[in-house]
Amino acid sequence: MNSGSVTIDALGRKCPIPIIMLAERINEVPLGAVITVLADDPAAYTDIPAWCRLKSHQFVGSLEIKPRGWAFNVRRSY
Amino acid sequence: MAYFDAASTEPPHPSARDALIEALGSAWADPARLYGMARRSRMLLDRARADVAAELGARPDEVFFTTSGTQAVQLGLLGVFRARRRAGRHVVVSRVEHSSVLHAARAAEAEGGEVTEVGVSRTGRVDPAEFAAALRPDTAVACLQSANHEVGTVQPVEEVAAACREAGVPLLVDAAQTIGRAPLPGGWSALAGSAHKWGGPAGVGVLAVRKGTRWRSPLPEDERGYGRVPGFENVAGAAAAAAALRARAAEMAAESARLSALVDRIRAEIPARVPDVEVQGDPVHRLPHLVTFSCLYVNGEALLTELDREGFQVSSGSSCTASTLQPSHVLEAMGVITHGNVRVSLPRGTPAEAVERFLDVVPGVVGRLRESMRGSGVSG
């Protein structure tokens, strides 16, 4: 899985901060491009795909990263 | 002040208070003895048992008082599991069961059992076909809640019960959220409940085990509790639990319809008044008194604190409100937003004005909290 052109580092941040960061910065990537969120709060694992569904952006997928957490890729839809 | 956390515990029903005080004065003697005072304790206990059994759709000798709803679940699940060793050691539960069920299933696993967790839809509802497909020839026991304690979704218990019957698997139904609030489903082999959730006292649970369902106590033998639950019987608690349940049953149809209309109003008005909110759970197949919603970009703990300050006591499944810092396993299983989560569960007698006040207060509270979080994304 390739990373997006913009990467948000939300490691160590508790929900809802990673979601707020994503919402505030998704428009930094062009339409149809991918933004990446790095997060290790377990709530992010559920909340990022759920946010994409609610806000009609496309959740591309997640990848585990070391030492802990995930890289979440989200495609901007509008 | 408006107490909106009935799913955690329902305020004691006045009839429970009366029955408790009366029984503490008159029925404290040992119900296992043979003198007159003791016989009166026994009679009160037996009457409480018969009354509760009638409300559950059970025979009196199928019903046992436990020390909590949790203990009822533990004895129900592990007791059937133990008794069916020869059939196998496989256990089926839904992924959104109360933690007491999931922990009891883990305990079965520690005794050589194997657990299958059945997933749920976005609204938290089990698919009966998927549950049926999880049943195996070596399944010792299956467990499904009557309704979910966090989002209020009512489960298709009777369809699942039919599948269990066909497969020859006993079904334990955790009815804690439904007893006293809505008609109970049939078809169960065992059923567990908790008196403080229906307006009875804490410290009283109830376990019903159908005649013909094999059951063996996972605890050391004790002649108390009709031979099923160890320890000196809580006669006053049982009497109060029964009194509350009788009273709730008499009021149920009218009061549940009234509360359900208030919940419909919350379900419609919250998303109309607050942007970026997800109302959770099944809008139709739901408990009459419970609704859950998540507000994007809001910290759940801060939301509870602010609502408390405004005079509303509610609960939350958000991770920041849990000692483990894990979000609710129910919301996770549903794949819905877990942060900014609020569970509203209306106790008996909630005035419509209190709900209107809540609807007026929430938009401002959420707006203020969002304002305070703005920019937290970029400031790092």
Which CATH number goes with the domain that contains B339? 3.90.1150.10
B173 and B44 assigned to the same domain: yes
Asked if residue A16 has a cis previous peptide bond (ω within 30° of 0), the answer is yes
- List of domains in chain A: 6-75 (3.30.110.40)
pLDDT for position B377? 58
B202 and B263 assigned to the same domain: no
Which CATH number goes with the domain that contains B128? 3.40.640.10
A-chain CB neighbours of B337 within 8 Å are: 46-47, 50-51, 54
Q: What are phi and psi of B108, to 5 degrees?
A: -65, -35
B97 and B121 assigned to the same domain: yes
Structure tokens at B171: 């079904």
Asked if residue A30 has a cis previous peptide bond (ω within 30° of 0), the answer is no
Q: What is the pTM of this model?
A: 0.96
Active site residue B320: yes
pLDDT for position B250? 97
If chain B, 380 residues long, is cut into consecutive pieces of 10 residues, what is the mean pLDDT of each piece? 96 98 97 97 98 98 98 98 97 98 97 97 98 98 98 98 98 98 98 98 98 96 89 97 98 97 98 98 98 97 97 90 82 97 98 98 98 69
Last residue of one domain, picked from the residues B185, B213, B247: B247
pLDDT (tens digit per residue) in A1-58: 567 789 999 999 998 999 999 999 999 999 999 999 999 999 999 999 999 999 999 9
Considering only residues 45 to 64 of chain A, which have any Cβ-Cβ distance to chain B shorter than 8 Å? 45-47, 49-51, 53-54
pLDDT for position B80? 98
Other Cβ atoms less than 10 A from the Cβ of B50: the count is 15
Angle at B83 (CA atoms; ends B78, B88), nearest 5 degrees = 90
pLDDT for position B368? 97
Q: For residues B360 and A27, what is the distance between their CA atoms, to the nearest angstrom?
A: 33
Last residue of one domain, picked from the residues B247, B279, B299: B247
pLDDT for position B380? 40
Q: Is the dihedral of CA B320, B268, B285, B57 positive or negative?
A: positive
B-chain CB neighbours of A25 within 8 Å are: 377-378
> Total domain count for chain B?
2
Structure tokens at B194: 């908790």
Considering only residues 338 to 367 of chain B, which have any Cβ-Cβ distance to chain A shorter than 8 Å? 338-340
Query: The complex's ipTM?
Result: 0.95
Q: Is the dihedral of CA B127, B128, B133, B134 positive or negative?
A: positive
Last residue of one domain, picked from the residues B213, B247, B281: B247
pLDDT for position B320? 73
pLDDT for position B379? 43
Angle at B62 (CA atoms; ends B234, B21), nearest 5 degrees = 25
pLDDT for position B373? 86
